[in-house]
Amino acid sequence: MAKKTVKEMPVAGKKVLVRVDFNVPLDEQGHITDDRRIAAALPTIRSIVDRGGKAILMSHLGRPKNGPEAKFSLRPVAAHLGQLLHKTVKLAPDSVGPAVQKMVGEMRDGDVVLLENTRFHKEEEKNDATYAAELAGLGDLYVNDAFGTAHRQHASTFGVAEKLGAGRTGVGFLIEKELKFLGSALEHPQRPFVAILGGAKVSDKIAVIENLLSKADTVLIGGAMAYTFFLAQGKTVGNSLCEKGKVDLAKQLLQKAGGKILLPVDTVIASEMTDTAATRIVEGDIPAGQEGFDIGPKTIQIYSQKIRQAKTVVWNGPMGVFEKKPFQAGTKAVAHAVTEATGGGAVTIIGGGDSAAAIEQFGLSEKVSHVSTGGGASLEFMEGKGFPCIDNWIINELMFGAFVGGEPISSPEATGVF
């Protein structure tokens, strides 16, 4: 039977292949602008090297199209990881091949090697059997700690584990933590359970909304997706971003919700999306020539009250165009309300992506229970989809409390991960 987590795996003297998610943003000079995903992998890496294992890390970066591209090299990641670990992290010249085999063969216990971008090989995303076998040949054990790609059936996330077999595979601390928080929130929520959904498109969140309607007590809607619901209510939305083809679906969701879905009662509108835009607040219809860019003050008050009263909060998607100062009040207020709920004993989870970027921008990421590292993965998890890269029995044990004494998670410390 597969090992559950890395802490239970006999890593001493072993070559441990670790799929991490180092797909971090870089500026034009190749400098890392947000290292959260690297930092999130440190507990798993340290567990391996501190116990005498050899950590061989695999990751992708960006979307290279035709083989190796210098701008997508993991070289800056290797350097930064070395600084965080306070030890040398060697970057392999490739992810497979004789030179890589030689470098791995020369590793000593406690060493760390980062393989070059797996997506420099088109076989990665195709889960090519030969490429997966070459990767698997580099290690004795395999640990998946890349939650952000756990919903992708690629060679380094799926094929390698398949090649090594169940007895030599497991998950890292990050995936353990993600599954515990998200799983507990969705399956064992302390109530009231409030879900906050924003972003541009209803179509991106249909399955999430449908799944949450059976679990959450209240679903707060913000962002441009609200304007499709406005159309479903017979309101006008001016030039606001919306999906006219999804209006009937929005009507069906509102009917199915039975009052669980709350929509904005007022909107911040403008004729342009700029840092100097002249704004005003409207209730109901949005006039022609104007666009909705944020929730208004009355909505902020209603939503904030609901959030503060909650005992479980899951947030995915901003309330408006928070990157522009005239339209960031809604997202900022929601972020503060979520932190207040945390202070009141609620479990608060930020579902990655733009929500994670927003709460980081406002300097509040340390004041919530958990910020997910996987935007798309978090969404698919909230939809109720399984993860092909993680055995279902592992997911079930992590979600349903086997690692926390059968009790729902009530605080970040309850995971026992850090």
The candidate with the shortest Cα–Cα distance to 138, out of 10, 13, 15, 14, is 15
Q: Of these residues, 82, 137, 376, 384, which one is catalytic? A: 376
Check if the beta carbon of residue 377 is closer than 8 Å to that of residue 352: yes
3-class secondary-structure state, position 314: strand
Q: What is the dihedral of CA 367, 350, 118, 51, to 10 degrees?
A: 50
Q: Of these residues, 201, 215, 298, 308, which one is catalytic? A: 201
376 annotated active-site: yes
37 annotated active-site: yes
Check if the beta carbon of residue 348 is closer than 8 Å to that of residue 313: yes
**Tokens coding 273:** 């999306």
- CA-based torsion, 293, 297, 303, 308: positive or negative: positive
The candidate with the shortest Cα–Cα distance to 267, out of 305, 229, 232, is 229
**Tokens coding 269:** 């509108």
The candidate with the shortest Cα–Cα distance to 156, out of 112, 123, 111, is 123
Q: How far apart are CA 28 and CA 25, in angstroms?
A: 10
Q: List b or e across 33-55, with b for residues whose CB sees 16 or more CB atoms inside 10 angstroms.
A: eebebbebbbbbbebbbebebbb
284 annotated active-site: no
Whole-Å CA distances, 247 to 201, 239, 253, 281: 12, 16, 10, 24
For Cα atoms 129, 132, 135, give the angle at the middle one, nearest 5 degrees: 150
Q: Verify cis geometry, omega within 30 degrees of 0, for the bond prior to 192.
A: yes
363 annotated active-site: no
State the catalytic residues.
37, 201, 353, 376
